[in-house]
Structure 1
């Protein structure tokens, strides 16, 4: 069997205002017995037969419409919800240390200690401030 060397787009037909594209063209020898079996005509001589496989794009259009419907009805909302959930969890993890800091600041800076249990932060004494209570000496 030999396959024709013409480009696939070389053969185009118009069928119901749609382009039907050639997928494959094949040529093979056929015996008179095979021709009689497939055509029902007696007495045909041995000859070469060419077959064409054409594809109507209607099936592809219907499959594309189904896939688009599936995406817009199911996949897109699910993806949006999943993205929102991940953003909510990541934001919660990022803001987790803020609440202990807020509670510590509400108690006053003298009582606040770092959330990692480090040394306590305290107000410096007036002698450490570098001035004597605002009075001139």
Structure 2
């Protein structure tokens, strides 16, 4: 969703980015992270291959934030996510704010990569995201 936001920001009223992998270059350059080395089979190793580094940098959402009019963005991350560290969406949101966007960052304090546990908690989270989508689309029950 981060790449979509950079490539075609005017095509969307809003973007929901749930546990977004928006700083892949920084993550894949750190072999101490749990998934990095095994991901090199799929992505290539940017530490050893300048072409892989350049290609990843060309589409990395964080690296390609630029001063355009971004749509509304809801970035949802989890403090205990070991797959996509919460710092990635936090950095992305900060960089978006630097160029004038106004994204909303929601950090789940007790969830992991798959979101909150429990049926009712999951329903509350889904309702939050759905309400945000309805608002971003401009569909208000009051007709305003």
Kindly name which structure, 1 or 2, has the bigger radius of gyration based on alpha carbons. Answer: 1
* Larger relative strand fraction: 1
**Taking structure 1 as the reference length, what is the TM-score of the superposition?**
0.21
Normalising by the residue count of structure 2, what TM-score does the alignment of the two structures yield? 0.21
Task: Between the two structures, name the one with larger relative contact order (CA 8 Å, sep ≥ 6).
Answer: 2
